Chains A and B, each alone.
Chain A
Amino acid sequence: MRTLKVLATAALVAALAVPAFAADTIKIGVAGPHTGDLAPYGIPTKEAALMVAEQVNAAGGILGKKVEVLPMDDQCKPEIATNAATKLVSEGVSMVIGHVCSGATKAAMGIYKEAGVIAISPSATNPPLTQSGDYPNFFRTIASDDMQGKLAADFVTGKLGAKKIAIIHDKGDYGKGFADFAKKFIEEGGKAKVVMYEGITPGAMDYSAVIQKVRREGADAVIFGGYHPEASKLVSQLKKKHVKAAFLGPDGIKGDGFLEIAGKKAEGVYATGPMDVTKYADNQKARAAYQKKYGKEPGTFFDQGYAAMEAALNAIKVAGGTDYAKVEKALRSSYVETAVGKIKFDNKGDAVGVGFSVYQVQNGKFVEQ
């Protein structure tokens, strides 16, 4: 009886141990919203990672090993993100591309840190992720929200010359973070007044009370922190209620999702977003390959996701393996040509060489200002 038990235990241990030993591929996790209403932000990164892996594998892999991409859905929800992270770690990934939303990223980073896994996010712009120093294993290929908030504040008070500014956010980590920075920089700048600062509930039936408040305060610009569904609801209600304030949102609204839902009402809306990177050769190549494969334009954060994957694989190549310390050093020290330009990462994990610009919707397209 005892022998049986021992044997069974041994078999169980062996079964669990097998995946860890069978590391003949380099496993890269890709985490983000692949289903749910925020899927348009996650799927482009997944597609980008798969494309890079495919190309690298076609050319023989790196260090003689094939790259294997493990996509994991987190729906941008922190509670699902922790599950996704645990799953990826248990599958033995060497690095993770993701997560996409700041809230989900924050929830997952602790798990990666403990497991000694490096994560490169294409889109989590929340500043404390790098600035707090809590996550030495975190990197990103996008600039952080404080830069975005500063740009928004400067643009609205400077170029638009707004004097009274209403700030609305969606109460989420990302939206409120952006709104807070915009508020801080407007107040520090002293050129304009924040006349209203308020959170809205995503998914509420309408925002008419908030709009009426904007009108009562006589705001000449609205800065919104959040994602495109709420932004388009706000924009369309502002138009309907004849409020003529300029509207500016963060990169969460700078995408086709917003243009599609808001339709004609999107016209004239401003959004900050990653700098135009289409001038880089790598980017043009990636976009052309995507066009050829899927027959459409790549979505939001495609470039950043592509760059994250390129940076990750390059670091593994430079480090000569997937050893945590060596890969981390490689990320911080060696420049790499990516879809968002020539970048490396600074001590905190922010990419050196990326930034934001302001765009405006003109004739149904975002045009760099």
Chain B
Amino acid sequence: MDYFLELVCSGLVRGSIYALIALGYTMVYGIIQLINFAHGEIYMIGAFVALIVSGVLTIYGFSGVSILVLAALIAAIYAAAYGYTLEKIAYRPLRTAPRLSPLISAIGASLFLQNYVLLAQTPDYLPFPELIPEFAFMDPIAQRTGLGSAELVILVTSAVTMIGLTVLIKYTRIGKAMRATQQDMTMARLVGVNVDRVISMTFVIGSVLAAIGGVLVGSSIGQINFYIGFMAGVKAFTAAVLGGIGNIPGAALGGLVLGLAESLAAGYVSSAYEDVFAFGVLVIILILRPEGLLGKAVKQKV
């Protein structure tokens, strides 16, 4: 039973990271029906910025938590700038083009960012400092369950972020504008919503979440390289589809389901089959509910 709980915990930790990144996919898709394949790279860039910032801050004698907070903050700002620019350069000119064009542009942007970081930084794996401190009160828990402070911080941060996002979308002006744009872009524009600004904001918010994910994962597993965005992106995209792409609680749920499926499969079958189970769950759910767990079936207007 203990073993089961441990697996569930590590599945939740992994799932909440997937969820955090999946939110970016789902928000963008919800509003402009675009799968932003470069989102995983934003996550990677977030991690890289945090690595550089924490290196610089360490030289200047900052310590522990202050580095974590500052690094995450600057990473978020950088990632937001990248997300904003990405939308402006790669997607906005193609907004009225056929659906396939921005999709290909997204794949191109993803490869571009990957190789850009490869050349600008290094192809090697880089050590990422442990920014999340070891809490003394988590130590006995870690001894028994393997759930350490890093994992706790990941769970709490992603929960808080997701609640914050829900509040933002439900109760603020920009959230209202986002929902309006999602419903009908033309009508929203007619009633005075600045659609371009809303779309930019969506990219910015999604990128911030991805960057936070990157910082958390980096400091919990202790290494990054230019390629980490790819797998994280694929998994998060899967999570978004699993939960019903375009649906925000769906992305969170999808992430958790995916994380749990992987963890339990690794624990009870073999970690060699982790991905087989993860994508198997996706296939089964899409067969039973093509719109995803919480998605709504959309009737195509003909």
Give chain A's interface residues, CB within 8 Å of chain B.
35-37, 39-40, 171, 198-201, 203-213, 215-216, 228-229, 232-233, 236-237, 240-242, 257, 260-263, 265
Docked complex Cα distance between A367 and B174 (Å): 60
Write the chain A residue with the least CB distance to B129. A263
Interchain residue pairs A-B with the least CB separation, the first 8: A209-B266, A199-B272, A208-B10, A241-B146, A229-B125, A261-B127, A209-B267, A210-B271
What's the least CB distance linking B29 to chain A, in Å?
22
Q: List 12 A-B contacts (CB under 8 A).
A: A199-B272, A203-B227, A203-B230, A204-B231, A204-B274, A205-B217, A205-B231, A205-B232, A206-B220, A208-B13, A212-B10, A263-B127
* Contact of A212 (CB < 8 Å), options: B6, B123, B228, B270: B6
Docked complex Cα distance between A237 and B217 (Å): 13
Interface size class of B (residues with CB under 8 A): 35 or more
Could you tell me if B146 and A211 are in contact, using CB atoms closer than 8 angstroms?
Answer: yes
Docked complex Cα distance between A241 and B9 (Å): 13
CB of B184 closer than 8 Å to a CB of A: no
- Contact digits for B132-169, partner A, Cβ 8 Å, 1 yes 0 no: 00000000001100101010000000000000000000
Could you tell me if A212 and B125 are in contact, using CB atoms closer than 8 angstroms?
Answer: no
Docked complex Cα distance between A201 and B271 (Å): 8
Could you tell me if B263 and A208 are in contact, using CB atoms closer than 8 angstroms?
Answer: yes
What's the least CB distance linking A46 to chain B, in Å?
14
Docked complex Cα distance between A237 and B118 (Å): 26
**With a CB–CB cut-off of 8 A, which chain A residues contact B270?**
198-199
CB of B117 closer than 8 Å to a CB of A: no
- Contact digits for B93-127, partner A, Cβ 8 Å, 1 yes 0 no: 00000000000000000000000001000011111
Docked complex Cα distance between A198 and B270 (Å): 6
Given A232-B222, A233-B221: A208 and B150 interface contact (C-beta under 8 Å)? no
Write the chain A residue with the least CB distance to B220. A206
> Main SS of chain B's interface residues?
helix
**With a CB–CB cut-off of 8 A, which chain A residues contact B266?**
209-210, 213
Since A229-B225, A240-B148, A241-B146 are in contact, a sample of 17 more A-B pairs with Cβ atoms closer than 8 Å, ordered by chain A residue number, is A37-B225, A198-B271, A203-B228, A205-B232, A206-B10, A206-B14, A208-B10, A208-B13, A208-B14, A208-B263, A209-B263, A209-B266, A210-B271, A212-B267, A240-B146, A261-B125, A261-B223
Docked complex Cα distance between A271 and B301 (Å): 63
Could you tell me if A261 and B222 are in contact, using CB atoms closer than 8 angstroms?
Answer: yes
Docked complex Cα distance between A35 and B225 (Å): 13
* Contact of B148 (CB < 8 Å), options: A203, A241, A261: A241
Given A199-B270, A201-B271, A206-B14: A212 and B223 interface contact (C-beta under 8 Å)? no
Given A208-B263, A233-B223, A261-B125: A201 and B146 interface contact (C-beta under 8 Å)? no
Write the chain A residue with the least CB distance to B148. A240
Write the chain B residue with the least CB distance to A259. B127
Given A37-B123, A205-B231: A212 and B7 interface contact (C-beta under 8 Å)? yes
CB of B199 closer than 8 Å to a CB of A: no
**With a CB–CB cut-off of 8 A, which chain B residues contact A201?**
271-272, 274-275
Could you tell me if A208 and B124 are in contact, using CB atoms closer than 8 angstroms?
Answer: no
Instruction: Kindly identify, within residues 73 to 103 of chain B, every residue whose CB is under 8 Å from any CB belonging to chain A.
Output: none
- Contact digits for B225-266, partner A, Cβ 8 Å, 1 yes 0 no: 101101110010000000000000000000000000011001
CB of B17 closer than 8 Å to a CB of A: yes
Could you tell me if B125 and A257 are in contact, using CB atoms closer than 8 angstroms?
Answer: yes
CB of B171 closer than 8 Å to a CB of A: no
Could you tell me if B221 and A215 are in contact, using CB atoms closer than 8 angstroms?
Answer: no
What's the least CB distance linking A292 to chain B, in Å?
24
CB of B60 closer than 8 Å to a CB of A: no
Docked complex Cα distance between A288 and B235 (Å): 48
Could you tell me if B272 and A35 are in contact, using CB atoms closer than 8 angstroms?
Answer: no
Given A37-B227, A242-B142: A205 and B126 interface contact (C-beta under 8 Å)? no
Could you tell me if B142 and A241 are in contact, using CB atoms closer than 8 angstroms?
Answer: yes
Write the chain B residue with the least CB distance to A38. B123
**With a CB–CB cut-off of 8 A, which chain A residues contact B118?**
35
What's the least CB distance linking A205 to chain B, in Å?
6
**With a CB–CB cut-off of 8 A, which chain A residues contact B3?**
212, 216
Docked complex Cα distance between A258 and B130 (Å): 17
What's the least CB distance linking A172 to chain B, in Å?
12
Could you tell me if A200 and B271 are in contact, using CB atoms closer than 8 angstroms?
Answer: yes
- Contact digits for B195-236, partner A, Cβ 8 Å, 1 yes 0 no: 000000000000000000000010011110101101110010
What's the least CB distance linking A198 to chain B, in Å?
5
Could you tell me if B231 and A203 are in contact, using CB atoms closer than 8 angstroms?
Answer: yes
**With a CB–CB cut-off of 8 A, which chain B residues contact A39?**
123-124
Docked complex Cα distance between A48 and B265 (Å): 45
What's the least CB distance linking B40 to chain A, in Å?
12
**With a CB–CB cut-off of 8 A, which chain A residues contact B11?**
209
Given A208-B263, A210-B266: A229 and B123 interface contact (C-beta under 8 Å)? no
Instruction: Kindly identify, within residues 14 to 48 of chain B, every residue whose CB is under 8 Å from any CB belonging to chain A.
Output: 14, 17
Given A198-B272, A208-B14: A240 and B126 interface contact (C-beta under 8 Å)? no
What's the least CB distance linking A101 to chain B, in Å?
15
Could you tell me if B13 and A242 are in contact, using CB atoms closer than 8 angstroms?
Answer: no
Given A199-B271, A261-B127: A236 and B7 interface contact (C-beta under 8 Å)? no
What's the least CB distance linking A167 to chain B, in Å?
12
Write the chain B residue with the least CB distance to A211. B146
Could you tell me if B221 and A205 are in contact, using CB atoms closer than 8 angstroms?
Answer: yes
Could you tell me if A205 and B124 are in contact, using CB atoms closer than 8 angstroms?
Answer: no
